[in-house]
Amino acid sequence: MKIYVCVKHVPDSAATITIRDGSRIEENITFLMNPYDEHAITEAAGLRSQLPDAEVVAVCVAGPAAENTLRSAMAMGADRSILVVADRQIDSMLTARALQAAIEADGTPHLILAGKESIDAEGMQTMFRLARYFGMPAATNAVKISLEADGAVVESEKEAGSRDILRLTLPCVIGAGRGLNTPRYPTLPDIIKARKREVKKIDLADLDVSSPGGKTEILSLAPVAENREPREIAGDAAAAARELVRILKEEAKVL
């Protein structure tokens, strides 16, 4: 039985991001595994022990540098990995088709996990498109997954304090939320073992996938201007509190 985990190679949220050519992120900064995907990998490694002869395979569609992210995925528990090498930015429609083709070429999925979204594009589309192409049910923002003989019971967080409990037939696609687990980060022995595991590389062109006509292009990217200036709120505690409430209401507009 195979559990596929789709992972994305994203910029470190703490990095100083610069935009090149108006439409792409300068790639010399730290890139790492999308944080939601860490929950997906950790969950897959836990579920593996519940399934006979289960194997966890991490799959990524990105440039060659994403091998590092797949090494991280294997250090965190994936048995092996597949990198679909794309030499350009592609949209979620094509990414989902590439993931589908790579998974189909590899084996029959019992379950497909992914992060509920990526922290760079935040499109929240790829996992649903993948489910659609496979004809599988999907659930997102999973905070609990229980595998049963003929399905998966997923607790899906809607908003704070509210959960749907869903029963999905298998195979299915599940998007991991932050509440699903605590990521199990690798020890050095895990990292050493992952160095010897396989990263199978497939060229996107060799997968023979194409968009069904439509596509999304990024016309331009612009950095968010950080313009934070500290301001001291003077006066006694009561006056300072009043001023703080006024700022939160009138300037920040969060109250």
Query: Which residues lie below 8 Å from residue 198, measured CB to CB, with a gap of 6+?
Result: 80, 81
**For residue 187, what are its two tokens?**
């020890």
CA distance 206 to 233: 61
Q: How far is the CB of 178 from another protein (least distance, A)?
A: 14
The interface mask with another protein, positions 192-211, x = CB under 8 A, is x--x----------------
178 touches 39 (CB < 8 A): yes
Question: Which residue number, 169 or 187, has a Cβ lying nearer to another protein?
Answer: 187
Question: By rule CB under 8 A, what string of x and - marks binding of each residue 207-236 to another protein?
Answer: -----------------------x------
Judged by CB under 8 A, which of 189, 212, 213, 214 binds another protein? 189
Q: Pick from 100, 73, 91, 80: which is nearest to 176 by CA? A: 73
**Site residue total, another protein (CB under 8 A):** 25
Applying CB under 8 A, does 11 fall inside the site for another protein? no
Instruction: Name the one range near another protein by CB under 8 A: 48-56, 191-199, 211-219, 243-251.
Output: 191-199
Which residue's CB is nearer to another protein, number 68 or number 89? 68
Q: 11 or 171, CB closer to another protein? A: 11
For the chain, the first-to-last Cα distance in angstroms comes to 51
Window contacting another protein (CB under 8 A); options: 83-91, 109-117, 173-181, 184-192: 184-192
3-class SS string, 142-196 = EEEEEEECCEEEEEEEEECCEEEEEEEECCCEEEECHHHCCCCCCCHHHHHHHHC
Type of residue found at 8: K
Among 28, 162, 220, 227, binds another protein (CB under 8 A): 28
A 10 A CB-CB count for 6 gives 25
Distance CA(125)–CA(211), nearest Å, equals 14
Amino acid in the structure at residue 160: A
Secondary structure (3-state) at 251? helix
Cβ closer to another protein: 108 or 185?
A: 185
Residue 191 is a binding residue for another protein (CB under 8 A)? yes
* Binding-residue pattern over the window 63 to 82 for another protein, x denoting contact by CB under 8 A: ---------x----------
With respect to another protein, which residue has the nearer C-beta, 78 or 202? 78
The footprint of another protein (CB under 8 A) covers 12-16, 28-33, 35, 38, 72, 183-189, 191-192, 195, 230
